[in-house]
Amino acid sequence: MNAIISASDLAAALGGPGAPVLLDVRWQLSTARAAGEPPFDGRAAYASGHLPGAVFVDLDRELASAPGAHGRHPLPDTAAFGAAMRRAGVGSGRPVVVYDGGQGWAAARAWWLLRWTGHPDVRVLDGGLAAWDGSLEQTVPEPAEGDFVPQPGALELLDADGAGELARSGLLFDARAGERYRGEVEPIDRVGGHIPGAVSAPTTENVGPDGRFLPAGRLRERFGELGAADGTHVGVYCGSGVSGAHEVLALAVAGIPAALYVGSWSEWSADPSRPVATGAEPQ
């Protein structure tokens, strides 16, 4: 099953039998805002207009637990995540489509969590809300309670030690911007740089100017040029496990399974005992 869905295919699915549950996961990394702008309010954006029937999901509160030793967006409590998904109408036997404002990172985080916890049919709206040319509504739906019970482990998850080992023995992609990988700037975390051995692969390069993913063949070519040969054990990290999920999604579109290090750089760099590499080269 393709991990993404076009706006036209989604419109057709919404009008047919077995319509998917729609989750609106609009969110924005604080450093992405222009200086002086107020914090982005995803719920307010949702209230101003959303896809018909979509339910808002709060990334910081429902797709992550509180920041701490395991990073800025640690895994949510499994029971709390399951309850949030059931409130949104998610059931194990009904497809789910997630979308955000267009960047795709937050939607990918929801996609990854649902897939990791065992939901068999989850897709991301390619291009997000910006790609949708149908009607929007302001009515807040009241979906029937879903029956989804999360069972973690359907996708591979890395911890810090596993990520460090994979950078040496396999292929670990760093999905952040190149300047953060090289350690030239670090706007959020304690120190700049990357996990020794990790390969720079900014997830922003997996999409075109319109925010849609590059064709699967082009993505396979890109990841192959970066070292993802057949049989290679691939993992991904980012700043806090959000944009990294977007890269795992791009790899899935390309037909390449990949593990996610959710703690990512926010966890790794917080521990002064862990090594840090800088510069353009992996080592």
Residue-level length of the chain: 283
Beta strands per DSSP E along 61-184: 96-99, 122-125, 157-158, 171-174
Q: How many distinct helices (H) and strands (E) make up the chain?
A: 10, 10
* CB 151, CB 250: distance < 8 Å: no
Q: Residue 191 contacts by C-beta under 8 Å, 6 or more apart in sequence?
A: 183, 269, 276
Token digits of residue 228: 């993802």
Helix (H, G, I), strand (E, B) or coil at 9: helix
What single string gives the DSSP state of each residue in 243-281?
Answer: HHHHHHHHHHHTT---EEESSHHHHHTT-TTS--B-SSS
Residue with token string 């993505």: 219
The span from the CA of 236 to the CA of 166, in Å, is 10
The span from the CA of 181 to the CA of 196, in Å, is 10
User: Looking at 238, 242, 253, 259, which residue is catalytic?
Assistant: 238
Going by their DSSP bridges, the two strands 157-158 and 199-200 should be labelled as unpaired
Token digits of residue 52: 């018909």
* CB 240, CB 71: distance < 8 Å: yes
Question: Greatest CA span in the chain, whole angstroms?
Answer: 55
Is position 238 annotated as part of the catalytic site?
yes
Catalytic residues: 238
